[in-house]
Structure formats: C-alpha cells, structure tokens
Amino acid sequence: MKTSFFTFTITIALLYFTLPLSMSQRCNRKDEKTLLRIKKSLGNPRVLASWTKNSDCCNWEHVECDLYNDRITSFTIFSSNISSRIPNAIANLPYLETLIFRKLTNLTGQIPATFTKLTHLKTLTISWTNISGPIPSFLGQLKSLKTLDLSFNNLNGSIPWELTTLPDLETLHLDRNRLTGSIPDSFGAFSGKVPAIYLSHNFLNGTIPKSLSQVNFTWLDLSRNRLKGDISVFFGVNKTIEAADFSRNLFEFNFSTVKEFPASLASLDLNHNRIYGSLPHTLAGLDLQKLNVSYNRLCGEIPAGGKMQSYDSTAYFHNRCLCGSPLDACK
Ligand SMILES: *[C@@H]1O[C@H](CO)[C@@H](O)[C@H](O)[C@H]1NC(C)=O
Ligand SMILES: *[C@@H]1O[C@H](CO)[C@@H](O)[C@H](O)[C@H]1NC(C)=O
Ligand SMILES: *[C@@H]1O[C@H](CO)[C@@H](O)[C@H](O)[C@H]1NC(C)=O
Ligand SMILES: *[C@@H]1O[C@H](CO)[C@@H](O)[C@H](O)[C@H]1NC(C)=O
Ligand SMILES: *[C@@H]1O[C@H](CO)[C@@H](O)[C@H](O)[C@H]1NC(C)=O
Ligand SMILES: *[C@@H]1O[C@H](CO)[C@@H](O)[C@H](O)[C@H]1NC(C)=O
Ligand SMILES: *[C@@H]1O[C@H](CO)[C@@H](O)[C@H](O)[C@H]1NC(C)=O
Ligand SMILES: *[C@@H]1O[C@H](CO)[C@@H](O)[C@H](O)[C@H]1NC(C)=O
Ligand SMILES: *[C@@H]1O[C@H](CO)[C@@H](O)[C@H](O)[C@H]1NC(C)=O
C-alpha cells in the first residue's frame, strides 16, 4: 500500500514537472500562424504582447485551447486601444466557440463575411465598439450560436429575419445601435427556443407584428424606439413573460382591455407611451418587483391591493387623471 502510494505520488510529481515541457508542443501550427496574422491586422496592440513565437500559443493571453485537440476555442479582449477593423483571419480559427470583443471603442468596419466559416461559434460578442454597417443576415448560418451580443455599436439597417432560424439562441442583444425598420414578422416563429431579446435604444418603428402573439417570450426589452401598436399580445394567462420593458415608444392602446397578466410577470415598464384607459384590476394580483406606467394618458383609480400602493408615486405620475394612493385621492 505504502509503496504504491509512494509510486503514485512520484508519478504525479513527474507529470507535474514534465507536463509543461510536453505542453510546449500543444499549439496547433495553423492556429499559431493565424493568430500572428490577427495580431498584425490589429496593429500589434500591447494587449497581445504575450503572442510571440517563443511560447506556446495555448499559453498566450486572451486565447484558450481545448484539451482534446489543442485547437483555439476562445478569443477574448476586454478594453484595449485597438484601432483597426475586425480581422478577416479570425475566420481561420475553425474551432472557435467564443469570440468576445468588448470596449474596443476604436474598432471599426463591418462584421466580416468570412465569419460564416465559424460554425462552432456559441458566443459572439462585439459590444462597445465602433463597428458599423448592417447586422449581417449571414449570422443566421452560425447555427451553434447561443449568445449574440452586438449591443453598443454603430450598426444600422434593419434586423435580419434570419436570426430567428438560430436553433439554440438564448440571448439576443442588439440594443444601443442605430437600427431602423420594424421588428421582423419572423419573431413570431423562432425555430428553436425563444431567446431573451434586447432591442432598446434604436430607431425601430412600425407596429408590433401580430405573429408575436403566438410566442412565449421571457425577457423583452423594446424600450426607446418608435414602435407602435398594441402590446397586449404579450400578455394573457398562459404567457410566460417575466420582464417587459416597452418604455419610451409610441404605443397607444386602451389598457382597460388587457384583462389577464401571466403570473410569471415580475417587471413591467410602460413609461412614456400614449396608453389610455385605466389600470386593470388584475395588476393588483401580481407580484411585480417593478411597475412603471408614468407619462401616459391613463385615467381612473389605481387599483387597491397587492403591491400597487408600495410603488413610488413616480411609477404613476404624469398621466391624464390617475388617482388614488400613492397619488392624490380621487375626487
Ligand atoms: C481612439 O483613437 C483616437 C484617435 O487616434 C485616440 O485619441 C483615442 O485615445 C483612442 N481611444 C481609445 C479608447 O484608445
Ligand atoms: C490609442 O492609440 C492611438 C493610436 O495608436 C494613440 O494616438 C492614442 O494616444 C492611444 N490612446 C490611448 C488612450 O492609449
Ligand atoms: C466611429 O465611427 C464613426 C463613423 O462610422 C466616426 O465618425 C467616429 O469618429 C468613430 N468614433 C471613434 C471613437 O472612433
Ligand atoms: C448605414 O450607414 C451608412 C454610413 O453612414 C450609410 O451609408 C448607409 O446608407 C446606412 N444604411 C442604412 C440602411 O441606413
Ligand atoms: C419607418 O421609418 C422609415 C424611415 O426611417 C420610414 O421610411 C418608414 O415609413 C417608417 N415606417 C413606419 C411604419 O412608420
Ligand atoms: C406557452 O406556454 C404555455 C405554458 O405556460 C403553454 O401552455 C403554451 O403551449 C406555450 N405556447 C407556445 C406557443 O409555446
Ligand atoms: C390556458 O391554458 C389552459 C390549460 O392549458 C386552457 O384550458 C385555456 O384555454 C388557456 N387559455 C387561453 C386564453 O389560451
Ligand atoms: C377602454 O376600454 C374600456 C373597457 O372596454 C371602456 O369601457 C372604455 O370606454 C375604453 N376607454 C376609451 C378611452 O376608449
Ligand atoms: C418611472 O419612470 C419615470 C420616467 O422614466 C421615472 O422618472 C421614474 O423615476 C420611474 N419611477 C419608478 C418607480 O420606477
């Protein structure tokens, strides 16, 4: 027993000291070459100083290799003074699963069409950069995508319907761009599960497509656009919406006609729209962490009960004639 434990310890110790040596052979030569090209395209930024030929590329900072075939699977840069376009060469990392470029304010140009080759990509985040041009429809070909985050950029044009063909999409962030056009009809028919959707701070207009009434959304942020229509399609007893932000749009409908809200609803923000009628009594039956209906055209008494009187009066102010606690008593 003792001997075998001793042998075991020695083996582990040997492994521990020899592994780094054998690991110096890990890096795939093609990947190394590609990464060095990427570094050059990015203008040899200081953040990639560790990328030199005299060390194994699996040990370079900002990238990761997988343990099975030692190919580059992850490339991530947060905050850096990189002044260039997105290198086409990134598409020559065929095993890439995670690509994150965040807070690179001098990164410009468009999302390269070569990215269609990145079929293993699960996470694509290009956020807080200065990339521009359209959201390419070819992103619909990246069937492994779970997270697509293109928020806080300079992207324009409309939302391509092809994004709804991504079967595994869980999160879609297109907020804080310059997007125009309407929400595609296809958002009423995601081919996989329905992702959490963030489209705020754009110039989206048009009415909410009727097709959306068939979908069980969970997280939906449409705030700060120019959208119109009736958002009651998102509610109803059998819906699953949890957080809905429709604030600062042009929504105009009679709130009294919305009879039922799903029990799942935890946050509802409708401020700065043109919603009229009165607050439905069923709101009082909900356990909302947040409710804001300020800056609309609502009238009548705030329903009593539940949490309705616990929200700050600013949740209700600037309406046509809402009254009752926490606002002034009705006359
Ligand atoms: C972006 O580039 C401009 C002009 O070259 C420079 O002044 C600025 O510092 C850069 N921004 C960042 C965050 O590095
Ligand atoms: C960023 O890089 C540009 C050009 O390479 C340089 O002019 C600028 O001073 C840098 N800014 C910062 C904040 O390092
Ligand atoms: C971002 O790009 C726009 C043009 O697309 C340009 O006018 C602006 O100066 C750029 N900003 C930075 C910080 O590079
Ligand atoms: C997007 O912005 C570019 C540059 O400002 C412009 O040339 C192009 O027409 C815009 N595209 C759309 C669809 O607005
Ligand atoms: C949406 O805005 C565009 C201009 O950006 C305009 O041409 C179009 O008519 C608008 N559509 C609707 C339905 O308001
Ligand atoms: C939406 O969710 C409910 C359960 O909360 C379910 O009964 C209904 O079939 C779902 N609808 C769709 C279109 O998936
Ligand atoms: C909600 O679901 C229940 C049970 O699945 C069903 O009986 C009812 O008709 C549904 N109501 C609506 C408005 O779809
Ligand atoms: C809103 O709908 C309610 C209930 O259907 C109705 O009684 C009321 O007159 C409507 N209000 C307006 C301003 O149309
Ligand atoms: C409701 O929204 C308005 C407008 O953005 C804001 O001023 C107010 O503080 C908000 N109140 C609550 C309780 O969220």
What are the start-end ranges of the H helices in the chain?
2-23, 29-41
Kindly give the parts of the chain with pLDDT less than 50.
Answer: 1-2, 14-18, 20-23
Q: DSSP states of 288-313 as a string?
A: -SEEE--SS--EEEPPPSTTTTTS-G
For residue 178, which ligand has an atom nearest its CA?
4
DSSP symbols for 237-289: TT----EEE--SS----BGGG-----TT--EEE--SS--BS---GGGGGS--S
Q: Is the CB of 154 under 6 A from ligand 2?
A: no
Residue 13 maps to a domain? no
Testing ligand 6's pocket by substitution, the residue of 191, 217, 218, 240 carrying the most ligand atoms inside 8 A of its CB is 240
Distance from C-alpha of 169 to C-alpha of 147, rounded to nearest angstrom = 6
d(CA 303, CA 318) in angstroms, rounded, equals 17
Give just the sign of the alpha carbon dihedral 321, 325, 327, 331. Answer: positive
263 Cβ inside 6 Å of ligand 6:
no
158 CA closest ligand 4 atom index? 13
- Locate the ligand 7 atom nearest the alpha carbon of residue 260 and give its number: 13
284 occurs within a structural domain: yes
CATH number of residue 64's parent domain: 3.80.10.10
Cα 53 to averaged position of ligand 2 atoms, centre (Å)? 26
Give the count of beta carbons closer than 10 Å to the beta carbon of residue 229: 19
Domain range for 70: 27-323
Residue nearest (by alpha carbon) to ligand 8 atom 10: 277
Task: Please report which helix (H) or strand (E) contains residue 197, including its range.
Answer: strand 196-198
**Lookup result for tokens 């604030």:** 247
| pLDDT of amino acid 1 | 42
Q: How far apart are CA 257 and CA 219, in angstroms?
A: 23
What residue type is assigned to position 236 of the chain? G
- The answer to whether residue 21 is domain-embedded is no
Residue with CA closest to ligand 5 atom 11: 206
Alpha carbon distances (Å) from 40 to 36, 79, 99, 151, 216: 6, 18, 18, 26, 46
* 3 belongs to a structural domain: no
% residues pLDDT > 90 (the chain) = 84
Q: What is the pLDDT of residue 4?
A: 54
Q: Which residues have CB under 8 Å from 258's CB, separation 6+?
A: 232, 235, 280
Q: Is residue 184 part of a domain?
A: yes
pLDDT digits (tens, 9 = 90+) for 95-132: 999 999 999 999 999 999 999 999 999 999 999 999 99
Whole-number Å distance between alpha carbons of 123 and 95: 12
User: What's the pLDDT score for residue 7?
Assistant: 54
Establish if 2 belongs to a structural domain.
Answer: no
Domain presence at residue 171: yes
Beta-carbon count within 10 A of 11 CB: 10
Count the domains in the chain: 1
Domain presence at residue 11: no
Strand order in the sheet with 178-179: 132-133, 154-157, 178-179
